[in-house]
Amino acid sequence: MSTLELSEQEQIRRNSLAELRNLGIDPYPAARYEVTATAAQIAEQYDPEKGNFQDVSLAGRIMSRRIMGSASFFELQDHTGKIQVYIKRDEVCGGDPESTLYNKVVKKLLDIGDIVGIKGFVFITQTGELSVHCKGFTLLSKALRPLPVVKEKDGKVYDAFSDPEQRYRQRYVDLIVNPQVKDTFLKRSKIVNTMRQFFNERGYLEVETPILQPIPGGATARPFVTHHNALNIPLYLRIANELYLKRLIVGGFDGVYEFGKDFRNEGMDRTHNPEFTVMEIYIAYKDYIWMMEFVEEMLERVAIALHGKTEVMIDGREISFARPFRRLSMTDAIREKTGFDITGKSEEELREACKKLNVEIDETMGKGKLIDAIFGEYCEEELVQPTFIIDYPIDMSPLCKRHRDNPDLTERFELFVNGKELCNAYSELNDPIDQLDRFQEQLRLSEKGDDEAMFIDMDFVRALEYGMPTCSGMGMGIDRLTMFMTGQTTIQDVLFFPQMRPEKAAQKDGEKEFGAVGVPAEWVPVLHKMSLLTVEAMRKIAPGKLFNDLCGFNKKNKLGLKNPTIEDVRSWIGE
């Protein structure tokens, strides 16, 4: 990066970096720095009467500072919070007559964002502020870019780093200047750990299955495809974990589960990311009725672990995860909201019903997707409190066991919360002949143009032919569960690094565009350096201010350029 491509602040910090090195200070030391206390520990445990924390070592980032002659204050932020540091010239400089460490380093060469180590003792200032009195100081990392300045006054936040696109692209900055963001991800970790403990207590085994698969299966979705050079075959990023986990049930495991990444080559919106986290669990000798009770108990436990109660606020509505949840068949849900009974209806009858109900459909959709379209249009958003939608038509569930009482239905449920699907579960299909027939029906849909239809996985059929016990399986989206449990409204707020569109380069006029209004070529890089990237941006500046800024920049940076006249600048601006 050339000097003229840096902002003024970035150049000042690089100058400070060079001066630190000239003073013999390594701005990026390799040695470990021993930390003995955190900001949170001091805040919670310090007792002036006990006189504890009298020999502490902390490390963190400078977030603000006040230079006051021979003494200064700055705010140190570590991974637990913030604490004030008091630093006095005579105490950190020892016998140095020039007090270099304080007069040059602390006062002039340190910046907000720098990471430092502090050794000292804890005390309470005369104004009642808990502080660390610095006795020793070490620079651990020099920051070359300035942080966004977030100001707080009387409980109000000003100049917040709040633009969503910036926050998601630069999550590292978001986590530094918006401490509340970290809390969401701490809760996400607690959700996963609570679920993992719940499963492990019951003796179920956590496993890992392939992400690169020769046949994407276990769901109806469009996959990402890649190519393996050594084998010269296409491979797919998995869309679900299901078929491999059920192979392990065939192999004799009683219960297996996996927290893993799945990938679907579909659209992005506030609730969908192409890469997402799911938990899938399969348990032998159980059915979907047992699984509903299992899910109720698990979610109740997660809510209590996070909030100390079963009630959670989602989108301004109080949602109760207390057992039991409501249960409603797919057929009854659609009949309740539309008056239409889907029982026994042909594909054409369903297609005609969709038209009458103004449900958007296309010619590639079979019976399953037509029913799903009606349900999505009329029922989903009405399911606010946790509700199990059960007993789906067989056309919607190619991997699910037929209903024990009605062969046109399947033993399947989906749990809906706040109008969104949270999990999907079956009494798993273990009849290999029925499974092959269902796969072949999916092939028919694929040939009809449905690019989300399942592939035929003959190895999975072969596994079933060796015999899979009665089994219930369930998959749950961890991203969506985290949204619900933390009150976030977009999936991007519960992912550290959500998928983003390519970053647009800033529009930048060159010598040709600036030259057309009379700006000499040698002044174009200077205008860019001053963040005036276009003629339009330059023309928004008052002529007098622009003239003074250009002349000042030229002098300060010793560029040696011939200054323009005020008349020159007026002509550039078009006055």
User: What percent of the chain has pLDDT above 70?
Assistant: 96
Residue 152 in this model has a pLDDT that exceeds 70? no
Q: CA-based angle 352:354:357, to the nearest 5?
A: 115
pLDDT band with cut points at 50, 70 and 90 for residue 155: low
Residue 158 in this model has a pLDDT that exceeds 60? no
For the entire predicted model, the pTM comes to 0.84
Report which secondary-structure segment, H or E, holds 237.
strand 233-237
pLDDT band with cut points at 50, 70 and 90 for residue 150: low
What's residue 212's pLDDT?
97
What's residue 402's pLDDT?
92
Higher confidence at residue 452 or residue 521? 521
Mean pLDDT of 219-229: 92
What's residue 356's pLDDT?
92
Residue 437 in this model has a pLDDT that exceeds 70? yes
Distance, in Å, from the CA atom of 193 to the CA atom of 259, rounded to the nearest integer, reads 11
What's residue 159's pLDDT?
55
What's residue 505's pLDDT?
73
**Strands 205-206 and 255-263, bridge-based pairing:** parallel
For 140, phi then psi, to 5°, come to -105, -25
Contact between 494 and 488 under an 8 Å Cβ cutoff? The reply is yes
Asked if omega into 393 is within 30° of 0 (cis), the reply is: no
Contact between 282 and 471 under an 8 Å Cβ cutoff? The reply is yes
Lowest mean pLDDT among 6-15, 336-345, 366-375, 390-399: 390-399
Which tokens hold the place of 575?
A: 């006055």
- Number of neighbouring beta carbons within 10 Å of residue 552: 11
User: What percent of the chain has pLDDT above 90?
Assistant: 75
pLDDT band with cut points at 50, 70 and 90 for residue 439: confident
Higher confidence at residue 574 or residue 195? 195
Residue 264 in this model has a pLDDT that exceeds 70? yes
What's residue 453's pLDDT?
62
Distance, in Å, from the CA atom of 19 to the CA atom of 25, rounded to the nearest integer, reads 9
What's residue 308's pLDDT?
97
CA-closest candidate to residue 112, choices 79, 80, 151: 151
Q: What is the pLDDT of residues 364-405, one digit of tens each?
A: 888 888 999 999 999 999 999 999 999 988 878 877 899 999
- Listed in sequence order, the residues at least 6 apart from 56 whose beta carbon sits closer than 8 Å to its beta carbon are 36, 37, 42, 119, 120, 121, 122, 132
pLDDT band with cut points at 50, 70 and 90 for residue 94: confident
The string over 481-500, giving b where at least 16 C-beta atoms fall within 10 Å of a residue's C-beta and e elsewhere, is bbbbbbebeebbbbbeebee
Residue 317 in this model has a pLDDT that exceeds 90? yes
Report which secondary-structure segment, H or E, holds 514.
helix 511-515
Mean per-residue pLDDT over the chain, rounded = 92
Residue 450 in this model has a pLDDT that exceeds 70? no
- Number of neighbouring beta carbons within 10 Å of residue 263: 19
